[in-house]
Amino acid sequence: MLDIKLIRENPDLVKENIKKKFQDQKLPLVDEVLELDKENRAVMAEAQELRSARNSLSKQVGILMGQSKKDPSKLAEAEEAKAKVKANADRLAELEAKETELAQKIRKIMLQIPNIIDPSVPIGPDDSCNVEVQRFGEPVVPDFEIPYHTQIMESFNGIDMDAAGRVSGNGFYYLMGDIARIHEGVLAYARDFMINKGFTFCIPPFMIHGNVVEGVMSQTEMDAMMYKIEGEDLYLIGTSEHSMIGKFIDQIIPEESLPQTLTSYSPCFRKEKGAHGIEERGVYRIHQFEKQEMIVVCKPEDSMKWYDQMWKYSVELFRSLDIPVRQLECCSGDLADLKVKSCDIEAWSPRQKKYFEVCSCSNLGDAQARRLKMRVKGEKGTYLPHTLNNTVVAPPRMLIAFLENNLQADGSVKIPEALRPYVGGMEVMVPKK
């Protein structure tokens, strides 16, 4: 959410940013919110005048009532002053109700106006205009056929989607045996990887209130992703970033405690399962998965430095597991409304002979902080911090990249050295069938 002062002083900048995001339907919102803001400031000014007048009028009534005991002619003046106090009180009540109404209308519009994107963001309407920045590791296509990822898992008796369909429906799965062990081993390895980078490990709440949801994401994202608990003001998280950033709602953070660097484990729940194409069969796009996440809350001047560091952590982790990756810069039309800048880390799929997303790193500027009323107390007063988030690993999608890139011609899967301590020292996973 933008600062209303920015819109007042730079409406053309805000409109140009909306155009860069190819959301021209939102252009009228700028003028609409400016009109409401103008009206609201007039209402607030009148209300303040009445509050100031109330004290002097009340004092005047008291004086006149005292004088009327000696001079009855003053009683009429006192009654007149009382009537004026009453009229002012009634008008003030009207104005305060109007203030509340206008503030709600302004906030509703402000939540729809996208954040100002960084000048370095490539301009384009959708993800087809995202730009490859660099590659890490040599993408290899082996001289043997690589089965679909669920077939690889089935060769280890490692997945049962039929049973999950009977129990929960489409978009769910049972992971079994060595595949389940690799899944949890990767999460544990990712946890320790981030702890070794100086991040504090956290297990957050997996359900959050509606005001936290509104604070961390746009309405469009919320409608597309979140599951609501019927009859309660609680939502299942789609990623632990939601509850991790929500941890700071309505808080004043001492400047000396910045940066806050946290890495969190959680299950994630999303409504996004659907008919998105053949490559989203299996466990690629599902209702439920587990993830290790990283978030940073920092001074505004440090956020771009952290942004670069965070996506590089993802590259380092995936390369330690012998998975080639690339960094893909997200274009303006592919950025969610709260994001200033974002990139995806994509893993190489030797079966598909292309890359696919496994991590997403985002700098949200002060948008989440403003929505959640997070503040930092420093030597020069209070200010809004910047917030960032990035996926560490999100199995089972990450498992697809892991299995395809470590599959051997005989159907076995080699275990990279870094992961072996997390799977009982296993060096090779041998198929059961």
Can you list the positions of beta strands (E) in 273-371?
Answer: 288-298, 325-329, 341-349, 354-363
Higher pLDDT, 410 or 74: 410
What is the enclosing helix (H) or strand (E) of 263?
strand 260-269
Let me know how long the chain is: 433
Tell me how many degrees the CA angle 54-56-59 measures, rounded to the nearest 5.
105
State how far the Cα of 328 lies from the Cα of 93, in Å rounded to an integer: 54
Segments forming the whole domain that contains residue 392: 127-429
Mean pLDDT over residues 160-173, rounded? 92
Higher pLDDT, 107 or 396: 107
Question: In this model, does residue 57 exceed pLDDT 70?
Answer: no
Mean model confidence pLDDT for the chain: 91
Q: Are residues 93 and 196 in the same domain?
A: no
Q: Are residues 87 and 183 in the same domain?
A: no
State how far the Cα of 281 lies from the Cα of 170, in Å rounded to an integer: 10
**Tokens 């490692």 identify what position?**
158
Mean pLDDT over residues 153-179, rounded? 94
Residues 320-351: tens digit of each pLDDT: 999 999 999 999 999 999 999 999 999 999 99
**Structure tokens given for 96:** 């305060």
**Structure tokens given for 69:** 């005991």
Q: Are residues 42 and 67 in the same domain?
A: yes
Residue 94's CATH number: 1.10.287.40
Q: Are residues 153 and 84 in the same domain?
A: no
Q: Are residues 71 and 39 in the same domain?
A: yes
Whether residue 119 is contained in a domain is answered as no
Residues 397-415: tens digit of each pLDDT: 899 999 999 999 999 999 9
State how far the Cα of 111 lies from the Cα of 3, in Å rounded to an integer: 11
State how far the Cα of 218 lies from the Cα of 111, in Å rounded to an integer: 7
**Tokens 């803001």 identify what position?**
37
Residues 111-120: tens digit of each pLDDT: 999 999 999 9
Whether residue 388 is contained in a domain is answered as yes
Question: In this model, does residue 73 exceed pLDDT 70?
Answer: no
What pLDDT sits at residue 156?
96
Q: Domain end: 52, 79, 110, which one?
A: 110
Residue 289's CATH number: 3.30.930.10
- The total number of structural domains in the chain stands at 2
Q: Domain end: 85, 110, 135, which one?
A: 110
What pLDDT sits at residue 433?
75
Question: In this model, does residue 44 exceed pLDDT 80?
Answer: yes
What pLDDT sits at residue 224?
80
Q: Are residues 239 and 368 in the same domain?
A: yes
**Structure tokens given for 358:** 């496994």
Mean pLDDT over residues 212-237, rounded? 90
Distances in whole angstroms, Cα of residue 197 to Cα of each of 182, 204, 240, 342: 22, 20, 19, 21
Question: In this model, does residue 275 exceed pLDDT 50?
Answer: no
What pLDDT sits at residue 77?
65
Whether residue 408 is contained in a domain is answered as yes
Q: List the one residue out of 234, 249, 364 whose CA is nearest residue 295.
A: 364
